[in-house]
Amino acid sequence: MKKAVIKIILCLTAVIFAVSCGGNNDSPTNPTQGEFSVNIDSYGTREEKTIGTSSEDTSFTKEGKIKCYPGQETKVEINKVTAASGSVSLEPTDFELTTSTVSATANEIGIKLSASGIEKIRKAAAGEVYQYTFTFLFTRTSDNKTATSEGTLYVANIDIIKQTDIETAIKNTKYTSADAGTGVLVVSENPVWKFNLSGFNLNQTSGFTATATSSSGSVYVSSAESAIFSQAKGIGFFFSAKGVKDTSNKQATFTITVKLNNSGYMLDSAISYVATDGFKLILSLGQTDGTWR
């Protein structure tokens, strides 16, 4: 009799244990129902994370993107927007999500300005980049569990750099403040070499040639590269030059690329090549007694 009672008790205990284990939705056999959290990518470039519009081009908008890691299909929305000190005050309604659902494989959140956000940002200074902390609300579609996570994004009234901006910067090349607007590139050798760039026109194929004024002696390619960098300056961008002298040592060709100061500036699509292939500036010593080194 006692043995039978013991067997019954053991069976009941086993059943209770099995039921309690089977009802645990957070068990390793059902991991999708466990604790829910979403990490936001703290990396990525500022350019990728910049949301923008432009007061110069009313049709222009720029989508910002930030990655998250939800593990599975999850709905996302903007819960709160906190502006850094000095930034334009913006609300969640000033933004629109281009991505309403994320997952383990499609984990990029796309954000752009709404009509109200565009109106506010177009009144801000062109080229200025403002920082914001976005609080995202994530809802897991499998069980409607929610989690919040924060990420940093940027907003700008983007200044679009056009061909005339590049040309003006080269034409206004100056060695000292007294030379402003003369368009003369001064390469500091002994003696000094000067190249007149006041007639510069941006041309993707043929480049622009400037011939030195009368002088003699050596002029170094590296010195001219430094002179281009330090003397030709634009608003929101700068130049990087790499030169190669020809076999006669009388001419050097410089490939100049444009670098943007920050994500508040963008190149006009018509001159996008200046950031990659660059443009040519040919500095000739002409009939002088000088040589490139």
Residue 210 Cα distances to 150, 155, 241, 272, angstroms = 53, 41, 15, 24
What's the mean pLDDT when you consider all of the chain?
A: 89
Q: How many Cβ atoms from other residues are within 10 Å of residue 246's Cβ?
A: 12
Please give the backbone phi and psi of residue 212, each rounded to the nearest 5 degrees, phi first: -70, 150
Lowest-pLDDT range, 70-79, 133-142, 206-215, 224-233?
206-215
Q: How far is CA 92 from the centre of its chain?
A: 22
- Helix (H) or strand (E) holding 78, with range, is strand 74-83
Q: Coil, helix or strand for 140?
A: strand
pLDDT of residue 188: 82
**Short-list 126, 138, 115, 111, CA closest to 40:** 138
Say if residue 163 is exposed, middle or buried (CB neighbours under 10 Å; 0-12, 13-18, 19+): middle
Pairing of strands 265-267, 159-161: parallel
Q: What sign does the dihedral 22-23-27-29 (CA atoms) show?
A: positive
Q: What gap in Å lies between CA 153 and CA 52, rounded to an integer? A: 11
pLDDT band at 181 (very low <50, low <70, confident <90, very high): low
pLDDT digits (tens, 9 = 90+) for 55-85: 999 899 999 999 999 999 999 999 999 999 9
CA 284, CA 243: separation in Å to the nearest integer? Answer: 12
Q: Which of 70, 155, 151, 150 is nearest to 106 (CA)?
A: 70
At 64, list the tokens: 């910002």
Strands 265-267 and 74-83, by their bridges, are unpaired
Q: pLDDT band at residue 190, thresholds of 50, 70 and 90? A: confident
d(CA 114, CA 280): 41
For the chain, which residues make up each domain, given as ranges? 36-157, 163-292
pLDDT tens column, 127-164: 999 999 999 999 999 999 999 999 999 999 999 999 99
Q: What is the pLDDT of residues 9-39, one digit of tens each?
A: 444 444 343 334 343 433 333 344 568 999 9
- The Cα-based distances of 282 to 165, 215, 241, 251 in angstroms read 20, 17, 11, 7
Three-state DSSP class for residue 90: coil
Find residue 8's DSSP bridge partners.
none
pLDDT at position 122 over 60: yes
Residue 8: what pLDDT? 43
- Tokens (6 digits) for 79: 């819960």
> Is it true that domain 36-157 has CATH number 2.60.40?
yes
What's the rounded Cα separation, in Å, for the pair 208 and 193? 18
Question: Could you tell me the sign of the dihedral formed by the alpha carbons of 259, 263, 268, 269, in that order?
Answer: positive
What pLDDT is recorded for position 26?
Answer: 38
pLDDT at 21: 38
Question: H-type helices in the chain, by residue range?
Answer: 2-22, 115-121, 163-171, 221-231
